[in-house]
Amino acid sequence: MPREVPLQDPAPSDAPHRMLNVLVVDPDAVRRNALKEQLRTVGIVKMAGVRSTANFLIDMVSENALDVIVLDEELGWDTILEAVREVRIHPDADEIGFVVIGDQLGPEVRRRGSQVGILGYLQRGYGASALQEAMRTSLGEMSERVQHLTQAMRQAPFFTGFSDRELVRLLNMCRTRAYGDGEYVFEEGQPGHSLFILLSGSIEIQRRQDGKAVRLATLQVGETFGEMAILDDAPRSADAVVKGEATVFEIDHSAIRDDDNLLSLRMARQIALVLALKIRGMNAGTR
């Protein structure tokens, strides 16, 4: 079975860090005050304040030198997204990080949050080390694992021109999966909703003929595959089989269908460029 690659390292980094001013926004008084007390025990926190609502956050930003704002999921996602958008337009808010705490922080939640620039996420039941790591991540500081993933992404032409912060947002919006030898990334006839970019390893594209697998292509690191399905949701026309081990970056169609998000539009443009290059290559081969 494929395994989703986690973004956080098992242990926090011991690298030096500036002291942070943190604001907690949580409608539950007991929970927000408990988090405030927990923050006081975290070595990188200088000051921790609390609020019950996300109303007028822009005023807090204007009056205080905030570094990180922690938002509880129970505020409601529409409220959280609107609050982050409001803060982002403030001239002094470019460097503020956002952390969301919740029970279910799946890919769709992270995709929506990353679209407005939320990079830090905490599943309930976290400890102090995870809290510290989430705050660092919210500020665009990459753990060793994320650094490794972004370096792998840089090998793919698809990600040419993307900044480090945009790559971190993409890692939150999309999935990174690890596969073992002989596992299928997808099979012929399956519904197709994603395209894939090979970050490490090798994958063969195969088609079944007379009960046998016929190899059509062997993909190398940096190559994309499965692009057509993300555009028309048509069934897969071939198998994608891992040879050895492989890590792939999966972009679901929902990640590129938000016309209000510049990063989504940029990905859609990159997909169009990839398809154009492949079509030109096929045309050149028929001459």
Q: Where are the domains of the chain?
A: 18-140, 149-285
**Run of H or E including 249:** strand 239-252
Q: Is 57 helix (H, G, I), strand (E, B) or coil?
A: helix
Mean predicted confidence (pLDDT) in 242-263: 81
Tokens of 200: 């490490």
Looking at residue 14, its pLDDT comes to 52
Tokens of 21: 């001013």
Looking at residue 9, its pLDDT comes to 61
- pLDDT(124) > 60: yes
Looking at residue 84, its pLDDT comes to 92
Looking at residue 131, its pLDDT comes to 92
Looking at residue 232, its pLDDT comes to 74
Mean predicted confidence (pLDDT) in 215-229: 89
- Give dist(CA 119, CA 138) in Å, integer: 5
Q: Strand 224-225 relative to strand 194-209: parallel, antiparallel, unpaired?
A: antiparallel
- Give dist(CA 210, CA 35) in Å, integer: 62
Looking at residue 187, its pLDDT comes to 92
- pLDDT(37) > 90: yes
Mean predicted confidence (pLDDT) in 64-85: 92
- Give dist(CA 156, CA 222) in Å, integer: 4
Looking at residue 115, its pLDDT comes to 80
| pLDDT band at residue 219 using 50, 70 and 90 as cut-offs | very high
- pLDDT(167) > 50: yes
Looking at residue 287, its pLDDT comes to 43
Q: Which CATH number fits domain 149-285: 3.20.20.30, 2.60.120.10, 2.60.120.380, 3.40.50.740?
A: 2.60.120.10
- pLDDT(144) > 60: yes
- Give dist(CA 197, CA 220) in Å, integer: 10
* Class at the top of the CATH hierarchy for domain 18-140: alpha beta
What's the whole-model pTM score? 0.65
